[in-house]
Homo-oligomer: A and B are copies of this chain.
């Protein structure tokens, strides 16, 4: 699976160094991820399935400035029974790479408040292709 989405930078994302704050990169990943989930898996959400982040990491390569265009490509790296791994490339669409990142998520059933197997239709999207 591969999805590419654009993030709108806010002035308040910049810190006193004049660059997007390092914690905000994870907000950008979440924004891209939630957009994907809502577009593709809104049904699951309604069934009370959550995807909890159990691990997150980011390598910062270049600072993001207010003028930069920011795109995030999400790919599936690994799909287990109840957990899966997303990898992210944060770039400007013109060859400048700001960061690459990774989140491990677990499919969680709110009702039973426990990790559950990833539904097949979810798995199908991951194994296939998503386009925006």
Q: Is A119 an interface residue (CB 8 A)?
A: no
Q: Is A122 an interface residue (CB 8 A)?
A: no
Question: What chain B residues lie within 8 Å of A94 (beta carbons)?
Answer: none
Closest Cβ of chain B to A53, distance in Å, is 5
Type the 1/0 row for A70-104, where 1 means its CB is closer than 8 Å to any CB of B: 00000000000000000000000000000000000
CA distance A55 to B56 in the complex (A): 11
Sort chain A's interface into a size bin: 20 to 34
**A23 interface neighbour in B15, B27, B52, B54, Cβ under 8 Å:** B27
Type the 1/0 row for A1-16, where 1 means its CB is closer than 8 Å to any CB of B: 0000001101110111
Nearest residue in B to A9 (C-beta to C-beta)?
B31
Closest Cβ of chain B to A54, distance in Å, is 5
Question: What chain B residues lie within 8 Å of A31 (beta carbons)?
Answer: 8, 10-12
**Interface pair A11/B15, CB less than 8 Å apart:** yes
Question: What chain B residues lie within 8 Å of A11 (beta carbons)?
Answer: 15-16, 30-31, 34
Interface residues of A (CB under 8 A from B): 7-8, 10-12, 14-18, 21-24, 26-27, 29-31, 34, 38, 50, 52-60, 66
Return 30 A-B CB contacts under 8 Å, by A number.
Answer: A7-B8, A8-B8, A10-B27, A10-B30, A10-B31, A10-B34, A11-B16, A11-B30, A11-B31, A12-B15, A12-B27, A12-B30, A12-B31, A14-B16, A16-B18, A16-B66, A21-B27, A21-B30, A22-B30, A22-B53, A23-B27, A23-B29, A34-B66, A38-B66, A55-B57, A55-B59, A55-B60, A56-B57, A56-B58, A56-B60
